[in-house]
Structure 1
């Protein structure tokens, strides 16, 4: 049931009473109920993450007592509670074997392959990609998912896997890459580049010193080219990324967070208070940075707790990949690269509440538990 749930998490804009609930959640809850009854459910990744998670949820719960938007705040709290108490523990428990994770990777990537193929159809025959991408909430997040599929495709190409899957991976890259780089979604391009580079760097480490040397040189060359392109196109990038608005947003969020130390201004308070703190009315009050967002809404304690959760994942899982690259499967590296890439774009986006990212967080941690 858990495997069947994963593809439905791609359609994260399915809502009931403004809460993202879909068929994937029902399947996951059914699987979790069975695990809970049998006593097999594992609730935490580590002791440190357990303490940080409890602290984060406790601060968010307390902030409900003074949030200016109680109903929306309750919905936000339920989202975080569901992620940390339901989604992550269930995935962490069931993904304890490499066979499960292999099938999970194929199912998620297969769904994304279908999305890429349908995208081509929509662009050629009905020429209405924006309408098609609305299924995934927005054109931006539609491209994020295409970038996720590209990371999987590269990981499959670098491993000893069935030739049909490798052929399909090539088809995916040829299909999805033009959509990712053919628009103005800089975050999708960043996720694409970071995720694929992480997969390739793991592969270089696994191959040995000579291969790693060539990869390092090539990375330096590409980085230099990238810096030059960014410098030459800076004014365009500045406008495409709305960087001026974001910097103003971050300044106001920091000021509001300082005013709300240590527990913040209340969960979901940014939508109502950012303009009161001086954000210009033409700038939407959604804080596009998860650190500033949590600092503003649930204060210093809340943001530190969340950073500890993420930091523990980086320390325990991400670093392990590069310490013992030969111990990891390619599809496990895809899980790590997807969540790491999303962390990069989360510094420029609202807080990560969509389940598909936390599924990758837990799948990667489950792989680390098996490697260890």
Structure 2
């Protein structure tokens, strides 16, 4: 991720007339090389999985709409922002110009928050599914999922654009000093967008997982009890399970509930894998963000922490589609059939 959200002038002074004689062309280094590898891998993996969703209609469900939304956000981030980040590591902003800086800041603030909140939408979907399953199955359609995703894209722009536009119109620093938004000029907005679009979504995503686990376990216990009641298998020895009526009910029940159980279990597996990956890939950079916004509470930064957290964040875009392919049974089977892989 770019450093535009991190270099926020925590000293309190706003140096508007200081110029540094940086060379216009910077040498290629390992950070730029790794970024290029991550960019290529992320574009390939996200494009392939998104293409499978578009090509095969049976893969497109209300739940997978949120996965497609995340894949689009990943591609948007990789295709739009990652090249700008790589270029910014090789050239100075004064040589790249104002329009490049504006695009760079747009990606650093708005596109990155789209990736964060696309993960958060999957968690919100699971919370609704496990806490109110009746209304979820009744009202949650692909249209509702699509409208929810579009609403979040609009919400993110509404939060971000006021500060972004004010910086472009009134507070933009000289390009000789770099390309970032000075925190002190719009501190209230800075804190608001950090909390609303980064801290709260990621914290909710992590803290909601135990709650979803509780409801998921309770749902399965109730489901097993209903099966036992329908089949008459209420005793330890399964008395009544040999009757013709119970045998018919035992055969009908799986056919009636098989698809719902499969979708719920698959969605829970996806959420579990995403929660673990978010803790690994997104939490370090969120800590770095808060360190920048709130001053680090007087603590010193660890050497190289930003570079590591930056690479981890971009790496998640590579692993997201791989996790989806492994966790979603239908997607996994379609991937194997499309590319002729052995089952």
Q: Same fold (TM over 0.5)?
A: no
Q: What TM-score do you get using the length of structure 1 for normalisation?
A: 0.26
Q: What TM-score do you get using the length of structure 2 for normalisation?
A: 0.28
User: Which structure's CA Rg is the greater one?
Assistant: 2
